[in-house]
Amino acid sequence: MILDELIVGGAALNQTPLDWKGNRENILAAIELAREEGVQVLCLPELCLTGYGCEDAFHGEWVSRMALQGLMDIAPATRGMAVAIGLPVVHNGQLFNCAALVADGRVAGLTAKRVLAGYGVYYEPRWFRPWPSGVVEEYALPGGKIPIGDFIYDLDGLRLGFEICEDAWSSPQWRTGQRDAPEILLNPSASHFAAGKYATVRNLVTEGSRFSHSVYLYANLLGNESGRLIFDGAVLCASDGRLLAENRRFSFEPVNLVSCVADLKALRLERLRLPLPANRHSGEPGNVVPLPFSPQQPGRAVRRRNGRSGIPDWETTRLQKQDAPANRAGQSPGSDAELPMEQAFLKAVCLGLWDYLRKSRSQGFALSLSGGVDSSTVAVLVGSMIRLALRELGWPAFRARLGHLNGLDALNPEEAGGGDLEALLTRRLLMTVYQASANSSRTTRDAAREVAAALGAEHLELDIEPVVQAYTDMVARALGRPLDWDRDDLALQNIQARTRSPGIWMLANVKGFLLLCTSNRSEIGVGYATMDGDTSGGLAPIAGANKTFLRHWLLWMERQGPPELGPLAALAAVNAQEPTAELRPPGQGQSDEKDLMPYAVLDLVEQAAIRDRQSPLEVWRTLLGTRLPGSDLTPAQAARYVETFFRLWSRTQWKRERLAPSFHLDDENLDPRTWCRFPILAGGYETELEELAQAARSGRE
């Protein structure tokens, strides 16, 4: 039977590595939702059965064995559908990253990934082997043999093929306009969120469909799957260069389904019109695998289309109900395509925190709220997470997703009311602590109070000065001399930061909370943080963002905020301050930028040195050639700043190695475990800095 149209769908899934039960439930839920919407071909994300982030656990044979058993258990649920499910597969003693096509209740074949991602945050070649292009072999299942490799399915005249994530980025097979290219291309993906990346993903999907003259379906993982990477949960469907449907990303739902109508007749007519070359694999035996397929009828899924010259305007009768979940409906292109960076940052980190809370089974979050930009940002992100999740999920689903929390059932939303419930939940889930030393100011104390009150957090204040003085006196007695700021500046600063750690850790332990550290990327790059002090914590949610952006973002939150939440006026007390650690006596006028350099300069130097791999001399030239607001540098000043950065960077790698896990937010990350590796012991750029000094002395640029 030659189909004139097909209902296709993709589902983003919030999976967890090695959570066999939870992952299976999400897959089955996606299949059931797709069935209700009449979907006939469904694409699920890469390695969704095991989870993508299993790391070296992939080397255990039991992992692939349990994944295969899970696939066989799921297969009966696919009657009347063809479903792509990702899993690792051992074949001929080697491990492959595969997408199984499960159709009409049976596993029909295994497509193996050809191109493995082995750069940046990806380490796939450590676990998997790439499959050679065009090769098809047999794989033995309990019920018989199935094909494995690189091939096309022929579903009773409907050709279906795969590009698994990196296959499409690095070596797409079907972008040369081949006559026998699949009509349906599925891209199961595990593509991490990074700032500004989504436009590229949309282009990859739409252009992939245009060049191949196919229906292209892309389904990504969703959420903080395994700790550091955040997946946006994008689902996109395009046909012949036109985007048909896309979803709302960063959903708090565990399953996010999008479906649309694919006009196969229009595709065939377009292919007839064009002088396309033959498929390069068309003469190779076994490259096209026939598969009997009887797709379900659309049933309750009633579609309306407005013709080929635009985005199909369709709805299902079920989704016309006011209480239908918004994330199940396809949205018009542009609805979530160009999120401003401020909103993308907010949504990505909030989703990352939500999943970290659930998957670590913590009772809430604790943090030291100093009244400055960094700690206030973290507090606002936690408060925003609670509000965004509650508003999307509703109270029953919110409570169910956080079922491990003690005492959540005692909250009564009927008595509290909507806004009050958000405040009650914030007080239950977020504890902030202001810890004052002799050098703390009334300004920061009041700012911390105002922010905590505006969010609804439980806020405590501790006086650490007696503890600081006790440590100082103890060390002075041991040394036989008093400590003073002229000789012992660094030690006297650090003891205050370190004294704050035991108290907040103890409070977090008492409550079973996860302690958040508030270090940002700018200060991590130069080690401007006290180890076992302000770096204390189990998670560093803003360690991937630089200070320039965070200051801008907090101003945006004060004055505008996201459409769902609006502004937070209490942040004015934070934004009015000059950033300072408040670790020296007030009379010394300490500020972060006096200690280091202007943050705009620091962030530019870091980008040039680390992201762009420039030498000190090259960074100096870049700095002199860039106009920065409020910073008109002489060659000598610029050289001093560049030298400061490189010396501090090379001697503080050990601090970056010890930092708590952080979220990967863009492609300028400094996390040595996932992005930016650097030796702990190195030469310190001595030769390069001498080259810079000579150029600065001579005035050569």
**In whole angstroms, what is the distance from residue 586 CA to residue 475 CA?**
23
Contact 428, 409 (CB under 8 A): no
- Cβ atoms of 314 and 298 within 8 Å: the answer is no
pLDDT tens digit string along 115-166? 999 988 999 999 999 999 999 999 999 889 999 999 999 998 899 999 999 9
| Count of residues making up the chain | 701
Distance of alpha carbon 76 from alpha carbon 74, whole angstroms: 6
- What average pLDDT does the segment 416-440 reach? 89
Cite the beta strand spans of 335-429 per DSSP E. Answer: 365-368
Q: Which long-range contacts (CB under 8 A, 24 or more apart) does 527-532 make?
A: 527/648, 527/649, 527/651, 527/652, 527/655, 528/592, 528/595, 528/596, 528/648, 529/655, 530/493, 530/494, 530/497, 530/498, 531/655, 531/658, 532/498, 532/501
| Mean pLDDT taken over the chain | 90
Contact of 124 with 97, CB cutoff 8 Å = yes
pLDDT classification of 547: cutoffs 50, 70, 90: very high
- Asked if residue 565 lies in contact with residue 571, where contact means CB atoms within 8 angstroms, the answer is no
What was the pLDDT predicted at 661?
95
State the pLDDT at residue 66: 98
Local confidence band at 541 (pLDDT 50, 70, 90 cut-offs) = very high
**Tokens encoding 173:** 């097979």
User: ∠ CA(576), CA(608), CA(232), 5° rounding?
Assistant: 70
456 to 246, 257, 394, 427, 453: CA distances (angstroms): 35, 34, 19, 6, 5
Cα 201 to chain centroid distance, Å, stands at 14
Return the C-alpha torsion angle 533, 535, 539, 544, nearest 10: 160
pLDDT grade for 81, boundaries at 50, 70 and 90: very high
Nearest alpha-carbon partner for 467 in 506, 512, 524, 510: 506
In 240-395, the DSSP E strands lie at 242-246, 255-263, 288-290, 365-368
Beta strands in 437-565 (DSSP E): 458-463, 514-515
What does DSSP say about strands 158-162 and 144-149: parallel, antiparallel, or unpaired? unpaired
How confident is the model over 473-492, as a mean pLDDT? 96
Per-residue tokens: 337: 């395509």
For the chain, give percent helix, strand, coil, nearest 5: 40, 20, 40
Contact 215, 185 (CB under 8 A): yes
Residue 450 sits at φ, ψ, to 5 deg, of -65, -45
Question: What predicted TM-score, i.e. pTM, was given to this entire model?
Answer: 0.92
**C-alpha closest to that of 536 among 669, 660, 373:** 660
Ranges of each domain in the chain? 5-328, 341-575, 591-661+680-701
CATH superfamily of 5-328: Carbon-nitrogen hydrolase (3.60.110.10)
- Which pLDDT does position 279 carry in this prediction? 54
Contact by Cβ (8 Å): 566, 343: no
Which residues neighbour 633 within 8 Å (Cβ) at sequence distance 6 or greater? 601, 623, 624, 641
Report residue 276's pLDDT band, with 50, 70 and 90 as the boundaries. Answer: low
Give me the mean pLDDT over the 261-269 stretch: 89
| b/e per residue 520-552 (b: at least 16 CB within 10 A) | bbbbbbbbbbbbebbbbbbbbbbbbbbbbbbbe
What would be the CATH architecture of the domain defined by 341-575?
3-Layer(aba) Sandwich (3.40)
Q: How many helices (H) and strands (E) does the chain have?
A: 22, 21
The whole-angstrom separation of Cα 425 and Cα 439 is 33
Beta-strand pair 430-436/365-368: parallel
107 sits in which H/E element: strand 106-112
Q: Which residues contact 269 (CB under 8 A, 6 or more apart)?
A: none
Tell me if 6 sits within 8 A of 159, measured CB to CB: no
Phi-psi region of 81 (alpha: psi -120 to 50; beta: other; left: phi over 0): beta
Tokens of 681: 């012991």
Per residue in 637-681, pLDDT (tens digit) is 999 999 999 999 999 999 999 999 999 998 888 999 888 999 999
CA separation, residue 391 to residues 251, 259, 325, 419, 521 (Å): 11, 24, 12, 10, 31
- How far separated are the first and last CA of the chain, in Å rounded? 71
User: Residue 157 contacts by C-beta under 8 Å, 6 or more apart in sequence?
Assistant: 1, 2, 3
Q: What is the pLDDT of residues 193-244, one digit of tens each?
A: 999 999 999 999 999 999 888 999 999 999 999 999 999 999 999 999 999 9
C-beta separation of 99 from 50 below 8 A: no
List residues bridging with 246 in a β-sheet: 236, 331
- pLDDT per position as a tens digit, 584-613: 998 898 998 899 999 999 999 999 999 999
pLDDT in tens, 98-128: 999 999 999 999 999 999 999 889 999 999 9
**Alpha carbon 19 to chain centroid, angstroms:** 19
The arrangement of strands across the sheet holding 242-246 comes to 242-246, 235-239, 215-220, 184-189, 158-162, 152-155, 288-290
